[in-house]
Structure 1
Amino acid sequence: MSSICLLDFPVEIFHRIFDYLDTRTIIRSLRCVCRQLNGIVNIYNRYEIDLTLFTKVQCEFILQSICCENIISLIFSVDFKEQSDKADYLLTILNIQQFSCLRSLKLLHVNKNELDRFLPCIINFSLISLSIQLSDFFQTASLSSLSTAITQWKLRKLHIFNGHNLIKILPWPVDCNLNHLTITSCTDQEYRSILEHSPFLRTFVMEYCLIINTIPSVNSSYPQLTSLVMNYSFLSFGQLNSLLSLTPSLVHLKLINHTDHFSSLFDGNRWEELIQSKLRLLKNFQFCFRHTIRKLNSTFCTNLHSIIQQYRTPFWLDIKRWFVIADCIMRSSILFYLLGKLFDNTPRKKWKRYFTLSSLNWGTIFPVFTNFIVITLVYSIIAPLMLLISGFAFGLFYIAYAYTMFYVTDFPNDAGGLAFPRAIYQSFTGIYLMEIMLATLFFLAQNDSGSQSAIVEAIFMCVSIAITVAVQYTMCTSFDPLTYYLPIDAEEFSQLDIPVSGKFGITKKVTRILNHRQSINDSDSVSTVDQAVNEVYDNTMENAYLHPALRDPKPIIWIPRDNLGIAVDEVQKTEASGMNILMSTEGARFNDKVNIEIHGAPPDHMPFTETNQVRTRF
């Protein structure tokens, strides 16, 4: 059995392998293996060189190692400090005239003057693809040399980036053989002008489609275009309808459109009508319509569900087999979605995660800052400057948390004001440690003769420790009773008859709020969901000093509706039992995959108004 090694393969196989390798690997690795591979590399004539990946010395080495006639693609953007003019580098050092077989050229960060000097030197080349990235986005001077080169070369592909008002700076050639065109920005006038002068254009890609205020009626058609890509636009459905009506032969269409409000752009029925009447040949339709929601509300899920239903018709699913999804991408962490999948197993939990503000957990916030205070006080012994830095940091924290409390977070639970006193008491730990360490340092301080030199200061610190203990004991004995119990003087003050006077018009009824008595028992509870919603927090201020378990109403049990009617049957049985337990299935249901879907707020949800202080009891 004969053995075959790699070197026995035909040269064409090696060249086909070289097509998938980079130039550095071919020149610096394969060429040095053996003489046979060296010869195969030397006759390889399909080099694609990206000069942006090499330094100036490496570029010169690679170009000396390769015959210039073997290079078919070149990417050039030389930003060497010692070579300010890129055109000089191309014309002198690279000697671009030697690249006679060049078929693809990409020039990055070039200006008009460099193009005018460079393009006439390669006007006799047979380029097929040309890419130009202009250094000045707001180029105003005419690029006549580029227009002449497009006609002379008979280009098939043209990419122009950072070109603003392309038609104004580039006189579009009358006889243009382009098949593929990519530009940065385009208006409807430029779009029409390009199509009129490009009878062979098949693919048109625009990165930005500028906002158009008025688009004239369709007077002509351009059937040559079969692929259109608009990667960023703010056009309405009517404007898109006018533009797409110009190209009835489209086979591939890609649209990425942004809008500030829900409009007919999201209407699947109108898109279905447009495609059936004007884009009958369309086979591949990729689109992404984005809408930024400034304020998330409970009706958003309903709107999202109604939108996606328009794309579930036989036209989209059976005839075209285009599958459309609608999603709400919230700017939050991955944990937001991960935790929801793992722990949100009830309608109320799902609604709270998506439609309510986050809350501040005082039990985890205060310990962080008390530790901060302790560390600051302890280290201030050896670095007093830390007191100023910490003071500045606490000022920034105050501004941040003040904004957060007013505009970002909510306070569904009442801590009764117990967190702040605890944080104050824990801060005394830092004071004790600072005083003990200072007293220790003073006792250990010695002079040159070896005797103690700070006895007085140490005694003063010991006295300070005793004073601190006395202050903390006084605070505890004075304020702890007020923290856990209602003061007697507040009860006595509520008995006074104060006449209506002053800016706020304080009435006798308001002054007797604390003295209000209301029997709380199950017999007085409401019996229907509507009654519960209407009577929620009616007497919140009158019962302000009661424990939340006594003053807050019973929550309504919210369960999702199912197709078998089990949830409805359970609600009816609970109501018939007479146990005064309210249940509802409104706004939640199980879908076909037995996942909970939310279509509204909980039945006992109360929106915030000026007269209904649900969340601002204090």
Structure 2
Amino acid sequence: MSVEQDSLFCILPLELIHLIFRHLDTQTIVHSFRLVCKRFHNMVNMYDEFDINFKSILKSDFHYICNIIPPENIKFLTLSDDDETPGQIGCFLSRFRIEQFTKLRSLTLLEIDDRYLSMVLRDVHKLEIIELIIVSKEEFTKNNTIIDDLSSTVCLRTLRKLTLDIVDIDISEIVWPVECTIQHLEIHCDTCDAYCNILYHLPNLRTLVVEKLCMANMNASMPELANPTSFHQLSSLTFKYCTINMLMLELLLSQTPALEHLRLVRCVYIRDFMSHLSQWQNFIETRLVLLSKFEFFLTETFQMVTTPAYIEQLIAPFRTTFWTETKRWFVICDYGTNSQHLMLYSSSMYDPQFRYNLESKRFSRSTSVPTISNTIIMDGIRNVYLNLSQKMFSVTSFQNNLPSAPMFTKVDYLKLSLNHNWPTYSLRVLSSLINLSYLTKISIETGEASDYDPNLMINICSLLKLTPNVHSLKMTRGMSTRDRDIKTFSLILDHIRHLTVSVSTVTQMSKAIQNVGYRSSIKLYMNTSDDPSVAIQRFQHENEYYSYRLKSGSLSIWLDKNAYIAKQAANQNNIEQTDQDLETFSTFFIPNTK
């Protein structure tokens, strides 16, 4: 019997099916659900709330989705020109205009250059966009009109959420409208003036995330403010990845008396924070009376001899009634003896961008529960570094008590350093420390390990077998790559879609591209003085189904493996057809000489 007759799922109302679609990714909907039966095919065609995320996508899937889903059915869209999909935005805009996406409400642009950004922003004005995210580390040209385009964009009456992280643009030059509708803003500011200008011109602002603000000058003063009462609407504020001293921080916060949630992420020196702690407590009690949630994550390299007693001394001021009972803001202090890294942070948060150094010896103190028992912290660690050659594996060998369940459950990026042979029992120890099935990216720096360990690639492949969700692998040698290293790339498992490797010659560049089996994308770090355009021309002759980005020291290529295979098959068919035609021609027109 057919699926339509057998399954009760097939008779569910269309509205309910579309609600289920909201919890499925686009590729599952179009690749699996749509192909079940004719009714499901029609349901997918009628769905007009697609969330399309093209970040890290296969090039073949990118083209398939672009062909299947009409622009007017897309509500959320993410485009990316990063190393895994270079040239994607240009390819997309060669097929569509953003103004065609009439129901689009959220647009994310990653690593976009100024030429395409101008094209997109001019089309965005014709839509009812609610959320706009622009993140780009590209160097924009000096004579561009991006500031004018952004000034027009922030005037959109429907815009509520805006994220601007463009390294080559002075955000302070943006002209904000008199009545701006933005409620949530994430932006980087170079000056205090820019910060105050934003507050002054955004009367509806509720949440503000500030990056890159540089206010380390102890003598800096607050600029004149025309109407400080207009800042009373701000309820959530975050400073992250910037430099600001405690005195300036208090001056800035004195303009936001309605603040309920404050986050400080790697923006204040620990010693500056601790020296003003009593003054800071008084400031909160008198000036930020509505503040109910205060979270911070502060780090510092601390090269002085540090002992557990010093860590206890550092955290002792947070054991007062104000911190533990009145506010219930609990604090953790960690110190890694090898990295000499000191961390002071709230027990309710952990910066997911911070790389946790997994060391054999560290000091930790907490005003609440131990770090190792804090689920919030352990789940918040997403980026882990581990030196496989350190004594850690001799200390935590399989004879010792390894945890029954992984300590780090949601790590998605693992960086490994290896100086000599791959340690025995390392995979077992890694499995006990990290939930390997959650990983999506692995970086391995081998150094001279490939000189000593003939089974290095076999060990790496053994690790990849335990990490089925890893799609990105980076392998760097730290020195000149040899031809025998290039040959091992063919052993890498197929679920690795993006590969980053180092090459030393143009010939190695071509061989690397061939040996990876034309997977989704490859990034080559080029430790060579040769002209890479030679390899590009050679590769272009072999495969026209690709886009690339050439930067100083690296080449990123986005490949369409399916198109390449189809082309090879077509070429083979043409050869066979030509041979058959020649045989037929000879039968009819070439006399038999026998």
Q: Under a length normalisation based on structure 2, what TM-score does the superposition of the two structures give?
A: 0.51
**1:169-208 correspondence to structure 2 within 5 Å:** 169-208=173-212
Q: Which moved more, 1:265-274 or 1:229-238?
A: 265-274
- Taking the aligned partners of 2:325 and 2:84, their CA distance within structure 1 comes to 60
Distance 1:85 1:10, change over 3 A: closer
Matches within 5 A, 1:17-416: 17-77=20-80, 86=89, 89-136=91-138, 141-142=144-145, 143-164=147-168, 166-213=170-217, 214-217=219-222, 219=225, 220-221=228-229, 222-257=231-266, 262-265=271-274, 267-296=276-305, 301-331=308-338, 334-337=359-362
In structure 2, relative to structure 1, the CA distance for the partners of 1:50 and 1:150 (3 Å cut) is: same
Matched letter for residue 116 of structure 1 = S
CA separation in 1, counterparts of 2:71 and 2:309? 64
Q: CA deviation at 1:35?
A: 2.2
User: Partner of 2:154: helix, strand, or coil?
Assistant: helix
d(CA) in 2 for partners of 1:78, 1:334: 35
User: Which residue type is aligned with residue 239 of structure 1?
Assistant: M
Cα offset for 1:10? 2.7
Any unmatched runs of 5+ in structure 1?
A: 339-357, 360-392, 394-618
SS in 2 for 1:175: coil
Distance 1:253 1:80, change over 3 A: closer
Instruction: Kindly state the Cα deviation for residue 216 of structure 1 after the two structures are TM-superposed.
Output: 2.0
Where 1:263 maps in the other structure, the secondary structure is helix
Describe the superposition over 1:549-578 as per-residue Cα deviations: whole angstroms up to 9, x where unpaired. Answer: xxxxxxxxxxxxxxxxxxxxxxxxxxxxxx
Higher relative contact order (CA 8 A, sep 6+): 2
What secondary structure does 1:72 align onto? strand
Q: Is the 8 A contact 1:164 1:185 kept in 2?
A: no
Give distance in 1, aligned partners of 2:359 and 2:112.
42
Residue 71 of structure 2 contacts residue 100 of structure 2 at CA under 8 Å; is this kept in 1?
yes
Instruction: Kindly provide the CA deviation profile for residues 113-144 of structure 1, in whole angstroms up to 9, marking residues without a partner as x.
Output: 32333322332100001111234357754520
Task: Supply the distance in 2 between the matched residues of 1:196 and 1:275 (Cα, whole angstroms).
Answer: 23
State the alpha-carbon separation in 2 of the partners of residues 108 and 92 from structure 1: 17
Of Structure 1 and Structure 2, which has the larger fraction of its residues in strand?
A: 2
- Given residue 330 of structure 2, which amino acid in structure 1 is its aligned partner? F
Contact conserved, 2:239 with 2:267, CA < 8 A, in 1?
Answer: no
Contact 1:123 1:153 in 2 (8 A): no
Q: Distance in 2 between matches of 1:292 and 1:324?
A: 19
Contact 1:257 1:290 in 2 (8 A): yes
Q: Read off the aligned partner of 2:334 and give its amino acid letter.
A: D
Q: Could you report, residue by residue, the CA deviation over 1:55-107 in whole angstroms, capped at 9, with x for unpaired residues?
A: 554333212212321100111135899996945x4554124332110111112
Report the residue type matching 2:361 in the other structure.
F
User: What is the CA–CA distance in structure 1 between the aligned matches of 2:234 and 2:115, rounded to whole Å?
Assistant: 33
Query: What is the SS of the residue equivalent to 2:329?
Result: coil
SS of aligned partner of 1:311: helix
Question: Would the alpha carbon gap of residues 330 and 296 (structure 1) be closer, same or farther in structure 2, given more than 3 Å must change?
Answer: same
AA aligned opposite 1:335: S
State the secondary structure of the residue aligned to 1:334.
Answer: coil
DSSP-derived class of the 1:273 partner: helix
Q: Once the 2 structures are TM-superposed, how far is the Cα of residue 278 of structure 1 from its aligned partner?
A: 1.1
1:94 and 1:184, CA in 2 relative to 1: closer, same or farther beyond 3 A?
same
Q: Which has the larger radius of gyration?
A: 1
Q: Residues 257 and 24 from structure 1, CA distance in 2 versus in 1: closer, same or farther, beyond 3 angstroms?
A: closer
SS at match of 2:331: coil
Q: Secondary structure at the match of 2:318?
A: coil
Matched AA of 2:221: P
1:390-440 Cα shifts (integer Å, max 9, x gaps): xxx9xxxxxxxxxxxxxxxxxxxxxxxxxxxxxxxxxxxxxxxxxxxxxxx
**Residue 56 and residue 193 in structure 1: after superposition, are their counterparts in 2 closer, same or farther (change >3 A)?**
same
- Please give the alpha-carbon distance, in whole angstroms, between the structure 1 residues aligned to 2:84 and 2:317: 58
Aligned pair in 2 of structure 1 residues 84, 286: CA closer, same or farther (>3 Å)? Answer: closer
Distance in 2 of aligned mates of 1:154 and 1:7: 38
Q: C-alpha separation between the residues in 2 aligned to 1:324 and 1:294?
A: 22
Secondary structure at the counterpart of residue 102 of structure 1: coil
* SS of residue in 2 equivalent to 1:132: strand
Cα 1:293/1:334, change in 2 over 3 Å: closer
Distance 2:93 2:298 in 1: 47
Measure how far apart 1:319 and its partner are. 1.8
Distance 1:257 1:226 in 2: 21
The CA distance in 1 between the partners of 2:7 and 2:87, in whole Å, is 53
Report the structure, 1 or 2, having the larger helix content: 1
Q: Measure how far apart 1:151 and its partner are.
A: 0.7
Deviation at 1:247, TM superposition (A): 1.0
Q: Report the CA distance between 1:239 and its aligned residue.
A: 1.4
Distance 1:247 1:139 in 2: 37
Cα distance in 2 for partners of 1:79, 1:302 equals 46
Separation of aligned partners in 2, 1:233 and 1:269 = 23
Q: Displacement, 1:302?
A: 4.9
Structure 2 CA distance, aligned partners of 1:83 and 1:328? 39
1:49 shift after superposition:
0.7
Shift of 1:39: 2.2
Contact 2:129–2:159, Cα closer than 8 Å, also in 1:
yes
Closer, same or farther in 2 for the Cα pair 1:337/1:23, shift >3 Å? same
Residues 132-159 of structure 1: CA deviation (Å, up to 9, x unaligned): 1234357754520121122135311111
* C-alpha separation in 2, matches of 1:10 and 1:250: 45
Q: CA deviation at 1:4?
A: 8.2
AA partner of residue 232 (structure 1):
Y
**Matched ranges for 1:555-566 at <5 A:** none
Where in structure 2 are the equivalents of 1:426-441 lying within 5 Å?
none
Structure 1, 22-31 or 75-84: larger mean CA deviation: 75-84
Q: How many residues of Structure 1 are paired with residues of Structure 2 in the alignment?
A: 336
C-alpha change, 1:108 and 1:68, in structure 2 (3 Å) is: same
Contact 1:254 1:287 in 2 (8 A): yes
8 Å contact from structure 1 (residues 137, 164) kept in 2: yes
Q: Does the Cα contact within 8 Å between 2:82 and 2:111 map onto a contact in 1?
A: no
Secondary structure in 2 aligned to 1:15?
Answer: helix
Deviation at 1:301, TM superposition (A): 4.9
Equivalent-residue separation in structure 2 for 1:285 and 1:235 (angstroms): 17
Deviations 1:356-387 (A, max 9, x none): xx99xxxxxxxxxxxxxxxxxxxxxxxxxxxx
| Secondary structure at 1:183 match in 2 | strand
Between the aligned partners of 1:80 and 1:233, the Cα distance in structure 2 is 25
CA change 1:337–1:163 in 2 (3 A) is closer
